[in-house]
Amino acid sequence: MTSTALVPTTDSSDARPETPDNATRPLTGLLVEHDDPKNITLTYDQVEALGRDLDDLRARVVADLGQKDRDYLYSIIRAQRGFEIAGRGLMYLGFFPPAWIAAVGALSVSKILDNMEIGHNVMHGQYDWMREDTYNSREFEWDNVCPGDQWRHSHNYMHHTFTNILGEDRDIGYGVLRMARDQKWNPYYLGNLGYATALMLLFEWGVMLHDLEVENIVAGKRKWYDVKGLVKGMWRKAGRQTLKDYIVFPALTGPLFIPTLLGNATANVVRNIWSYSIIFCGHFPSGAQTFTPEECANETRGQWYLRQMLGSANITGGPLFHIMSGNLSHQIEHHLFPDIPASRYPEIAGEVREICERYGLPYNTGSLMHQLGSTWTKIAKLSLPNFMTRDDNDIVVTVEREKPASVA
C-alpha cells in the first residue's frame, strides 16, 4: 500500500476551522491530474474545491436524516439488549461448557455493540438531532470503565480536532507507544510490541487513563492535584463497572460465581481486543499519516478535510462486519463527518472515494487481515531507531497553504 506525507509550502499562525453551515454547494466537477502520482501537488483553490465538495456531501446527508436513522439506532439497541439478556441467562448454565461459551459469545457481542455502534456514535452527537434525552451525547453512558464525559473530551475534542498532529493528538500511541517515525526514539520503545499487546488486552482501561496523561505526570509536566477531578470520575465509573461485572452478576448465579466472573472477564477482553483492532486499523496502517503542528497551522476547512483523509484508513467487509465495527471500518468517512450517523458511512463511501480519485489523492482501504498485518508491522518497525528500518512514505502531497496574491 502506498503512503503519504503532507508538506506545507508556507507557515502561518495556528487556528482551527469552524464547523460549516449546511448550505448545499454545487460540485466543482474538478479533475486534478498529476504528472507523477507519487508527488501530488494541490493548489490552494483545489484544496478549497475539495472542501466544498465534501461540505455538499455532508449537507445532503444531514438534510436526509430522519425516521430511517432513528429506526436503525433502535434496532441495534434491541439487538444489544437481546444479546446481553441471553448472555446473562446462559451464565446460569455455566456448569455446561457449551452454554458457558455461548454466554461469553453473547456478552461479547453485546459489549461490542454497546461500545462501538451505540456508545461511540451516540456520544459523538450523531443522534442529537432526535432530541431524545436517553440518546443525547451529553448524557449517555456506556458499558465501559471510561467515564463518558472524559471520553468526549479526549476523543471528540482532542482527537477529532487535532487528528494525527504530533504533540497534540494523544491518540498517537496513547502515551505508551511509538507510532510515527517523527517521534524521537529511545530504548523504552524496544518494548513497543509488548506495550501494544497489553494495551489491546486492557483497552478499556487504557482509554480510561487516556485523559490522565500519566506519562506527563511521571515526567513532572503535570501535577497530581491537576487531575484530582479526573481520578474521582474514573474511580466512580470504574467502581460501578467492576461491581457489576465481577461481583453483582457473578453473585446472582450463586454457586456458579467463579464461572460467571471468568465469563464476564473474558467478554470484556474479547471486546477490548476487537475495539483495539478496529481502531488501530483505522489510524495506523501503512499509508495513514501523522503531521507536525507547523503543517497544520491556520487550516482552512478544505485543508482540515485533507488531513482527515490522509490520516485515516478503511477496512473492507460485509454489512455485519461494518455493524460490529460501529461502522468505524469507514474511518475515513468518520473522520470527515464524525457527527453524521455512522450507519450512513457505507452509502457515502463510494462518493468519498470518487472525490479522492478526482483530486488524485489516495484512498487507504484494505481487508481486516491486511490492515492488521500492516499495523502490527508498523508497531514492530517503530520499536527500532529510524536508521534500522525503511521509511514507507513513497507518496508526498504538497499543499499550497495560503491563497496566492492576485496579479494586477
- pLDDT score of 34: 54
- pLDDT score of 39: 77
Residue 232: DSSP 8-state: H
Report mean pLDDT in 10-residue bins for the chain, 408 residues.
Answer: 40 40 37 61 93 97 97 98 98 96 98 97 96 91 93 92 92 91 94 97 92 74 80 93 97 97 98 98 92 90 95 96 98 97 97 95 96 96 93 76 70
- pLDDT score of 16: 41
From the list 404, 379, 182, 170, the residue with the least C-alpha distance to 284 is 379
Residues with Cβ within 8 Å of 226's Cβ and at least 6 positions away in sequence, in order, are none
Sheet holding 6-8, edge to edge: 6-8, 396-399, 39-42
CA atoms within 13 A on the CB side of 217: 13
Q: Which cell numbers hold the place of 385?
A: 531507531
Residues 91 and 262: beta-carbon distance below 8 Å: no
CA atoms within 13 A on the CB side of 358: 18
From the list 205, 210, 334, 348, the residue with the least C-alpha distance to 278 is 334
- pLDDT score of 391: 76
From the list 380, 348, 205, the residue with the least C-alpha distance to 284 is 380
